[in-house]
Amino acid sequence: MALRHVNPSPSDATPNETIALHHVEPTPRIAKPNEKSALRHVNPTPSNATPDKTLLADETLAEKICLSSRRNKWHDSLDRQFEENAEFNPSFAVVLTVNDGYWDFFLNWFHHFIVTMAKNVLEQPLLIVIAEDSIIYEKLTSYLASETRNTIVLPGYDDALNSVSMAENYDSVAYKKLVSSRATHLLNLICSLKGQGGGTNSDQSTKDNIIIVYSDVDAVWVQNPFPYLRAELFGSDTSNDNNSIDMNKQRQPNYDILAAVDDHNYHNVRDYYCTGFLAITPSYASISFLIDWEKELQSNHQLNQPIFNSLLRSSTPMIRHGGLGEIEFAPGRLYFDEWVKEGGSSERQKKSGTVVVHNNYIIGHDAKRIRFEQHGLWIT
């Protein structure tokens, strides 16, 4: 299967789908939090071995929302992707958004991703890169065509002349406008994936249930995150063999959304989630939440992380959300600062358990790059 890319075309889904460079930085705190690496969760639901009436009803409601809101921006492109590789049946789709200002960060992220996934012999995810301007779109389609398979580049902009290709200053008006399109991208993508692929009804349902894993481009994947995510979504007894992977595609996940945790007591929120690493199941609750998140962001351009945390804890229907372990999914304040200050065996032990490093708690393209270079995580 070759790289699939599509030419940009106007979206009929929602207004103001402005393109974003998604690097949301939380405000650092001074107090040292509890560093216990454990999943923080709210009302997980036990999974069943086979599809049940609840799961089927949930899928029906989710499909109705997607159909009623005409979320078909990338449907045809994704449909062709699966038709051209009928044997490709991924459990996860990894999603990045990138503009030309962070092209070097994409190259760095992609290198680590390829190295990490080369060790994953059982399954490969679908990689979806959303280009936020016309310049990066051309670069991505050219570069990825010769680099990898199971990859698709999608245009995340509607007007090439007005797309944003620079790295905006954090917390500026322009930056807030940019990051306010993340919910729109994720919602369009989940709905576009609904009903993808040909073959039997069983094949169809597994593609309907692809789990979205969103990653900021200023992150590095040092280990394969999918065994960890699969265990949290489907149970700690889940093994990583082919039979177990296939069975999970027919089970109801324990959570609708999993997110990295930036802090444990920020603005009186026990587990303050980071929107820089998310695992989202295509459930009715998830899609309903994304619609609410998009509405807030498009009506008032703002940093997308505070409103994400606020809405997630007041959503109707009740959404099952959980926080990922902070050692495995380490924020910048721990990996680059607090653990380094601890030093010695404590630092080595914690970093040996890290799966994904997020280069946050620092502002600016150049500052992020220098920090990656200083810690041996920059290769381009």
Q: Is residue 130 part of a domain?
A: yes
What's residue 202's pLDDT?
43
In this predicted structure, the answer to whether residue 362 has a pLDDT above a threshold of 90 is yes
Band of residue 206 on the pLDDT scale cut at 50, 70, 90: low
Give mean pLDDT, residues 153-171: 73
Give me the percent of the chain exceeding a pLDDT of 90. 48
| Residue 298 in this model has a pLDDT that exceeds 80 | yes
Q: Which of 20-29, 43-52, 107-116, 293-302 has the weakest average pLDDT? A: 20-29
* Phi then psi dihedrals of residue 40, to 5 deg: -95, 130
Reported pTM? 0.81
Looking at mean pLDDT, say which of 147-156, 169-178, 214-223 comes out highest.
214-223
Q: How far is CA 345 from the centre of its chain?
A: 32
Place of tokens 């038709």: 83
Does residue 43 belong to any structural domain of this protein? no
pLDDT score at 53: 47
Tell which wins on pLDDT, 52 or 66: 66
333 within a domain of the structure (yes/no): no
Q: Which domain holds residue 78?
A: 4-25+51-327
pLDDT at 39: 41
CATH code for position 235: 3.90.550
In a domain, residue 164? The reply is: yes
Tell me, yes or no, whether 375 lies in a domain: no
Confidence of residue 203 (pLDDT cuts 50, 70, 90): very low
Lowest mean pLDDT among 19-33, 102-116, 141-155, 162-176: 19-33
Does 340 reside within a domain? no
Contact call for residues 221 and 112 (beta carbons, < 8 A): yes
Q: How far is CA 305 from CA 187, 262, 293, in A?
A: 16, 10, 10
Asked if residue 93 belongs to a domain, the reply is: yes
pLDDT score, position 26: 36
Task: Tell me the C-alpha distance between 147 and 168, whole Å.
Answer: 29
Tokens of 179: 């990051």
- Tokens coding 292: 């609410």
pLDDT at residue number 122 = 75
Q: Residues 211-230: what's their mean pLDDT?
A: 96
The string of pLDDT tens digits covering residues 229-257 is 999 999 865 555 555 555 555 578 999 99
Distances (CA, A) of 189 to 46, 122, 194, 330: 27, 25, 9, 26
Q: Is residue 370 part of a domain?
A: no
pLDDT at 38: 39
Please give the structure tokens belonging to residue 256: 């609708």
Share of the chain above pLDDT 70, in %: 71
Stretch 85-99: mean pLDDT: 89
Largest interatomic CA distance in the chain: 56
Per-residue pLDDT, 82: 84
Q: For the chain, what is the domain count?
A: 1
Look at residue 16 in the predicted model and tell me its pLDDT.
Answer: 32
